[in-house]
Amino acid sequence: MRYSLLAGGKRVRPILCIAACELVGGREETAMPAACAVEMIHTMSLIHDDLPCMDNDDLRRGKPTNHKVFGEDVAVLAGDALLAFSFEHVAVSTVGVSPTRIIRAVAELAKSIGAEGVVAGQVVDIDSEGLSDVGLEKLEFIHLHKTAALLEGAVVLGAIMGGGSDEEIEKLRKFARCIGLLFQVVDDILDVTKSSEELGKTAGKDLVADKVTYPKLVGIEKSREFARKLNKDARDQLAGFDPDKAAPLIALANYIAYREN
């Protein structure tokens, strides 16, 4: 659990969670357990994703994948325990938030990873491998669930913990969905334009696995154009907030859009 959780990574989700909390007037420490929980869940999904029966990846965050070091059985269990601990951590360690809001956060967190969230995207993704009729609509479903759902969970949890109104939470939810699609479009582009060394993980694997990607459907240039549009749409959602407090989220959107790995 520690090996994969503390292996570095961009920490995009916990940063989103804390930034969303601060945007609606909350404090960093109020969102910290939720931020850690979201990163635990992200790590768990990476550990399980990397298994031989899934993406069969040897490298993650520049290090051998969990099952390469500890064996497949322990990797499955480490993921399970990280998933369970994420809920325990939110329930036990969140301070200064009403119990009703904590319960709402638990429900949102669960939904973001489960059969209506990340898992939905992964299953449709698996079912689509090797199919020739995967269009933009299905690709968007996959990304909105596989990638955006947990980013959405991160900002929604942050906003819940920070005392955000329902209206604020919904704007942040839309922001996260744009960012989520953006993140995946950029990931697709990087996979075909960068080396394994530059990425810290195996490059070109989407091509090898015959997966549908934005570059494959619409080409690299149109993919980059779509990324720019998503970045703008995301920033538009933040227009009604205090610009100083929205700045970190806008910077994060730009970071996602223009990252190199």
Nearer of residues 97 and 230 to its own copies, judged by Cβ: 97
**Smallest distance from its own copies to CB 74, Å:** 6
Positions that interact with its own copies (CB under 8 A): 1, 44-45, 48, 51-54, 71-74, 76-81, 83-85, 87-88, 91-92, 98-100, 102-104, 106-107, 109-111, 113-115, 117, 119, 122-123, 126
CA nearest neighbour of 176 among 224, 222, 144: 144
At its nearest, how many Å lie between its own copies and the CB of residue 18? 21
Three-state secondary structure call for residue 60 = strand
- Nearest distance in Å: CB 184, its own copies: 18
Calpha distance 66→51 (Å, rounded):
8
Closer residue to its own copies, CB minimum distance, 107 or 136 = 107
Closer CB to its own copies, 71 or 96, in the complex: 71
**97/43 Cα distance (integer angstroms):** 25
Q: How far is the CB of 220 from its own copies (least distance, A)?
A: 29
Q: Is 107 helix (H, G, I), strand (E, B) or coil?
A: helix
Distance in angstroms (rounded) separating the CA atoms of residues 198 and 228: 22
Nearest to 187 by CA among 261, 113, 112: 261
Could you tell me which of 232, 252, 259, 251 has the C-alpha nearest to residue 178? 232
Q: How far separated are the first and last CA of the chain, in Å rounded?
A: 24
- To its own copies, the closest distance from the beta carbon of 81 in angstroms equals 4
Q: Which of 99/243 has CB closer to its own copies? A: 99
Minimum CB separation of residue 12 from its own copies in Å reads 20
69/126 with CB nearer its own copies: 126
Nearest CB to its own copies, comparing residues 1 and 159: 1
Judged by beta carbon, residue 80 or residue 233, the one nearer its own copies is 80
CA-wise closest residue to 23 among 153, 112, 152, 155 = 155
Cβ atoms 177, 233 nearer than 8 A: no
CA–CA separation, 113 vs 135, rounded Å? 24
User: Any idea what the Cα angle at residue 14 is, between residues 11 and 17, rounded to 5°?
Assistant: 145
Min separation Cβ 162 and its own copies, Å: 18
